[in-house]
Amino acid sequence: MRQYFILFIFGLFLAFSSCRTDFDTVASSGNLKFSKDTVYLDTVFKNIGSSTYQLKVYNKSKNDISIPTVQLKKGLSSKYRMTVDGMSGNNGKIFNNVTLLAKDSLYIFIETTADITDADPTDFLYTDEIQFDSGANLQEVALVTLIQDAVFLYPKQNPDGTKEKIKIDGKDVDGFYLNENDPVNGNELIFTKQKPYVIYGYAGVPQNKTATFEAGARVFFHANSGLYVDNKASLQINGTTSATEKLENEVVFEGDRLESLYDDIPGQWKSVILSNGSTNHSINHLTLKNAITGLDIRSQDNTTIQIKNTQIYNCAEYGILAQNARINGENIVINYAGLTSLSCVYGGNYLFTHCTFNNNWSNSPQFAVNLSNSLAGATPETNPLTQATFNNCIIYGSNTNEFNLDKNTNAAFVYQLNNCLLKFSSSSTNPDYQFKTDAVHYNQIILNENPKYYDASNNKFNIDNTSSAFAKGNQDYIIPLDIIGATRTSPPDLGAYQSAVFPK
């Protein structure tokens, strides 16, 4: 008897299951709920695909429903495309009889690829709607994307189907040389603010030529891309002071992913390389972020590179890597580097005044500043460090020691810190780190006191009058204006920023 009872229950279960295979759905009644009423797809460049965005659709009723149509209002001509619960529908534009169970939800994933000509010419927005059902039951969710026009620079295709290449460090890499008489772009050696530039591969500055970046120029580098300045070529970055946080007059180098998710992700592109023998460089008001190495500076042609009012953030390896270079730096700010914010190796000659070298990278050991007069594998392995002087600077970060000296006694190693705030928390008997007693190398050092930045985690290094760096600078080294153009008072504050009310 017990066996018959079990078979009876099992039969009822099968009958119930078979009658539920079509879910007994009822027609949608226009009462769907949505995770948002407008889906904003972040800014994209023309004809470059966007990231994927999601919309969640809820059936709050007690009935399983069937939505007769889920479609883009512009139909098959829409520049948007969707998947609905994993289904591709008709070219990702139109879906029929979409089932949604009671008290359940489904996901819609949305992408777009559009040209500037598809956008509204007054605001460059491309829009559409997702329509659910029709007539009295019609519900809509808006889609909005800002399309940016841009100048695209990339390696050409060779007749044999391979990509154009240039040599960097003896290796062929995907790249091209900028052309001052390009039939499409005109003079590619002059970067203006009229349109942003998107670079694929390495853009090379040819020998005996100069690449000039005018105030307000915006350059976006694709993955594995960068800028390469060849032997006897020059780089001139001519940004100026901006009045707002939009940095409207800065020259900006960053990756080409415009979604907010990528704002602070390191390593999205490679580097700006100033090669051996390149010459007469000047960098002013540059903001560079999210590279592997920001500025990779090699031995210069007996000229000193001027770097002023420059910010470098979120680099996977180095903010500035200088090898036997000559640099005069003023009002530089560097933060978040996977290895070192400023690394001067294989000797050279360096003078930094009113700079903030910080490293808040979460792992250790990273440094804010590293100095070395050697380089493994070089011939010879040592090279004289003839000067490394830091005046009115801050050298700080999240690790115990943010200052490192890698000294080889086979070559000169000349360094001096004057009126600097320095983080070096561990005690050391090494004679190179006697900050209070070694007057040859250290003068007026503030050791291990918090500079009280406004918000270092978000790269805001402004200070106010409660900072340990307030009014601790030496007037003899003063740079009259700080990194944002504020007038320095006497005695000046340490670092790149003159103290003021914190930004809002």
* Together in a domain, 241 and 112: no
> Which pLDDT does position 160 carry in this prediction?
82
Domain boundary among 148, 176, 196: 148
What is the pLDDT confidence band of residue 501, given thresholds at 50, 70 and 90?
A: low
At residue 442's C-alpha, the angle toward residues 440 and 446, to 5°, is: 160
> Which pLDDT does position 447 carry in this prediction?
97
Alpha helix (H) residue ranges in 434-476: none
How far is it, in rounded angstroms, from Cα 95 to Cα 89? 5
What is the pLDDT confidence band of residue 303, given thresholds at 50, 70 and 90?
A: confident
How far is it, in rounded angstroms, from Cα 213 to Cα 215? 7
Cβ contact 129:136 at 8 Å: no
pLDDT of 225 > 70? The answer is yes
What digits encode the pLDDT tens for the residues 356-387?
999 999 876 799 999 999 999 999 999 999 99
3-state class (DSSP) for residue 327: strand
* Together in a domain, 205 and 111: no
Give pTM, 2 decimals: 0.87
Q: Which domain holds residue 134?
A: 26-148
What digits encode the pLDDT tens for the residues 43-98?
899 889 999 999 999 999 999 999 999 999 999 999 999 999 999 999 999 999 99
At residue 133's C-alpha, the angle toward residues 129 and 134, to 5°, is: 85
What is the pLDDT confidence band of residue 42, given thresholds at 50, 70 and 90?
A: confident
What is the pLDDT confidence band of residue 13, given thresholds at 50, 70 and 90?
A: very low
What digits encode the pLDDT tens for the residues 267-279?
999 999 999 999 9
What digits encode the pLDDT tens for the residues 389-447?
999 999 999 999 999 999 999 999 999 999 999 999 888 889 999 999 999 999 999 99
How far is it, in rounded angstroms, from Cα 228 to Cα 271? 8
How far is it, in rounded angstroms, from Cα 409 to Cα 382? 9
* Together in a domain, 368 and 426: yes
Cβ contact 383:346 at 8 Å: yes
Q: What is residue 475's DSSP assignment? A: G
Calculated CA dihedral for residues 82, 83, 85, 88, nearest 10 degrees: 130
* 415 domain residue, yes or no: yes
pLDDT of 22 > 60? The answer is no
What six digits make up the tokens of 502?
């914190």
> Which pLDDT does position 364 carry in this prediction?
67
The β-bridge partners of 57 are 34, 106
Calculated CA dihedral for residues 105, 28, 21, 89, nearest 10 degrees: -70
Cβ contact 280:257 at 8 Å: no
3-state class (DSSP) for residue 298: coil
pLDDT of 15 > 50? The answer is no
The identity of residue 366, as a single letter, is Q
> Which pLDDT does position 486 carry in this prediction?
95
Strand-strand pairing, 269-274 and 171-177: unpaired
* 2 domain residue, yes or no: no
* Together in a domain, 384 and 355: yes
* 245 domain residue, yes or no: yes
pLDDT of 296 > 80? The answer is yes
Q: Which run of H or E residues covers position 136?
A: none
> Which pLDDT does position 437 carry in this prediction?
94
Domain boundary among 128, 148, 168: 148
- Candidates 205, 357, 189, 173; CA nearest to 270 is 173
What is the pLDDT confidence band of residue 26, given thresholds at 50, 70 and 90?
A: confident
What six digits make up the tokens of 477?
């080294």
What is the pLDDT confidence band of residue 20, given thresholds at 50, 70 and 90?
A: very low
pLDDT of 293 > 90? The answer is yes
Q: Which run of H or E residues covers position 341?
A: strand 340-353
* Together in a domain, 102 and 183: no
* Together in a domain, 140 and 200: no
3-state class (DSSP) for residue 314: strand
How far is it, in rounded angstroms, from Cα 222 to Cα 238? 23
Q: Lowest mean pLDDT of 26-30, 366-370, 449-453, 480-484, name the range.
A: 26-30
| CA 425 to each of CA 246, 340, 401, 450: distance values in angstroms, whole numbers, following the listed order | 37, 18, 6, 12
* 493 domain residue, yes or no: no
* Together in a domain, 86 and 234: no
* Together in a domain, 416 and 310: yes
- Candidates 192, 54, 49, 52; CA nearest to 115 is 49
* Together in a domain, 429 and 389: yes
| CA 157 to each of CA 151, 269, 283, 460: distance values in angstroms, whole numbers, following the listed order | 18, 22, 32, 43
Domain boundary among 89, 124, 148: 148
* 15 domain residue, yes or no: no
Those residues whose C-beta lies under 8 Å from the C-beta of residue 86, and which sit 6 or more positions away, are: none
> Which pLDDT does position 427 carry in this prediction?
81
**Mean pLDDT, the chain, integer:** 92
> Which pLDDT does position 502 carry in this prediction?
56
The β-bridge partners of 252 are 218, 287
- Candidates 27, 40, 172; CA nearest to 100 is 27
Q: How many distinct structural domains can be found in the chain?
A: 2
Percent of the chain at pLDDT > 70 equals: 94
* 484 domain residue, yes or no: no
* Together in a domain, 239 and 258: yes
What is the pLDDT confidence band of residue 122, given thresholds at 50, 70 and 90?
A: confident
> Which pLDDT does position 21 carry in this prediction?
43
At residue 295's C-alpha, the angle toward residues 292 and 299, to 5°, is: 125
Query: What integer is the mean pLDDT of 309-326?
Result: 97
> Which pLDDT does position 134 carry in this prediction?
92
